[in-house]
Structure 1
């Protein structure tokens, strides 16, 4: 009768089976995870501007409004080209006047960034974002 030799290797097949089962479980449950939401932050202490800012209000990707807080509190609808022209005229007469961009929480972030990019490409200086003070 022949004597059996001992096998000195580890059998990895059960480990591979367990890993494949875990991989399938993660692949099935990953799409069910809830996605995160981003709330616009509020600032506890915002610096106050020396001059009243020019406010650009983004209502949607295509609808822009402007308000000059030093002259009036009413919003006027403007196109992108008209917005740049008005801001250049205002900063030509007063180069230290800041420009703030305001948007509702429901406005897409992309629309706000397009307006900010438009202002930066047209050399509008002192552009910032309007924040709500903490309560």
Structure 2
């Protein structure tokens, strides 16, 4: 009779690796998503300076002027009229609105001065110009 009863205390001959594979696939997907995520913005060639200060304020708005004269507000393309409207809305919500201006080093100066005139017209006084630190 003891030969017919199967003992439950026998060690397993193989390990079930399905839960471990599920975890590995989830981690792989998370790793792929995290490495391919990009920072919002428009790529421009920044001018070089010796000292750069970083502006890490949460309400800062970024205005980008590309080489071909296109204007972007927080990575969204805008024209000059729309830029003024949006900045006016942001200024209404935050009276001390800081603005960062990223202009391509070879961009036309008249487009950058036009953006600066809009900031002056709206009373935006906290304006930072983004540059790269040059190698000495």
Measure, in 2, the Cα distance between the counterparts of 1:60 and 1:45: 22
- Where 1:44 maps in the other structure, the secondary structure is coil
Kindly tell me: are residues 124 and 97 of structure 1, through their superposed partners in 2, closer, same or farther at Cα, counting changes over 3 Å?
closer
Match of 1:51 in 2: 58
Q: Of the candidates 56, 66, 71, which is equivalent to residue 64 of structure 1?
A: 71
Q: Name the CA distance, whole Å, in 2 between partners of 1:125 and 1:85.
A: 17
Shift in Å, 1:98? 0.7
Gaps of at least 5 residues in structure 1 are 1-38, 68-74
Check 1:46–1:62 CA distance in 2 against 1; reply closer, same or farther (3 A cut). Answer: closer
Aligned pairs for 1:91-102 (under 5 A) are: 91-102=91-102
3-state DSSP of counterpart to 1:107: coil
Q: Structure 1-normalised TM-score? A: 0.54
Q: Deviations over 1:85-112 (max 9, x none)?
A: 1111112112233111111112122321
* Structure 2: distance between partners of 1:82 and 1:61: 18
User: Residues 61 and 127 from structure 1, CA distance in 2 versus in 1: closer, same or farther, beyond 3 angstroms?
Assistant: farther
Counterpart-to-counterpart distance in 2, 1:119 and 1:61: 21
**Runs of at least 5 residues in structure 2 that lack an aligned partner in the other structure:** 1-45
Mark the CA change 1:105 to 1:122 in structure 2 (over 3 Å): closer, same or farther: same
**What is the Cα deviation at residue 57 of structure 1?**
0.6
Query: 2: distance between equivalents of 1:125 and 1:104?
Result: 22
Q: Distance in 2 between matches of 1:129 and 1:79?
A: 20
Residues 54 and 121 (structure 1), Cα distance of their counterparts in 2 relative to 1, 3 Å cut: same
Equivalent position of 2:114 in the other structure:
114
> What displacement does 1:124 show?
2.7
For residues 58 and 46 of structure 1, the distance between their equivalents in structure 2, rounded to whole angstroms, comes to 20
